[in-house]
Amino acid sequence: MNNIFNYKIAEQVYEWITKGTKNIEIRLYNEKSSKIMIDDIINFTVVDNERKNIKVKVTGILIYKNINSLLQDIDIKYIANVNKNELEKMLYEIFGEEKVKNSNIIGIKFKVIEVNE
C-alpha cells in the first residue's frame, strides 16, 4: 500500500506544477521526507488557499548533501522558475539558513495525477 504525504506549497509553486514546468520538489531530508518512497502519493496544498491542491505520484527519489550538489545533477528549471541564488533565498526563507546549510536535500520527482482549483 502506498503512503500519502501532505505538504504546503506557495501559490507560485502551484502555478509551476500546473503549467508542467516543475516536476521535482525539493525539501530538507528529515524524518518525514525520509519515509517517502517511489509510488507514494503527495498532496500539495497552497498555503493561503486550501481549495487549490495537487495530488502527485512519486516517480523518483534523489538525495544530496547540499543544494549545490543537487543543482550539479538536476537542471534548476525542473525545480523552480528562478536562478540558483533566488532558489537558495527561497529555501532559507522557508526552512532557515542554518537548516538548509546543515541538512541533506531530497529531490522528489513526481507526475501529476489530480489538480483541484
For residue 85, the domain's CATH number is 2.30.130.30
Cell of 4: 500519502
Give the chain's domain count: 1
pTM: 0.93
Q: What is the pLDDT of residues 38-86, one digit of tens each?
A: 999 999 999 999 999 999 999 999 999 998 899 999 999 999 999 999 9
Domain that holds residue 94: 4-116
pLDDT at 1 over 80: no
- The pLDDT, as a whole number, for residue 75 is 93
pLDDT at 36 over 90: yes
The answer to whether residues 106 and 29 touch, using CB atoms and an 8 Å cutoff, is yes
Cell of 86: 533566488
- The pLDDT, as a whole number, for residue 96 is 94
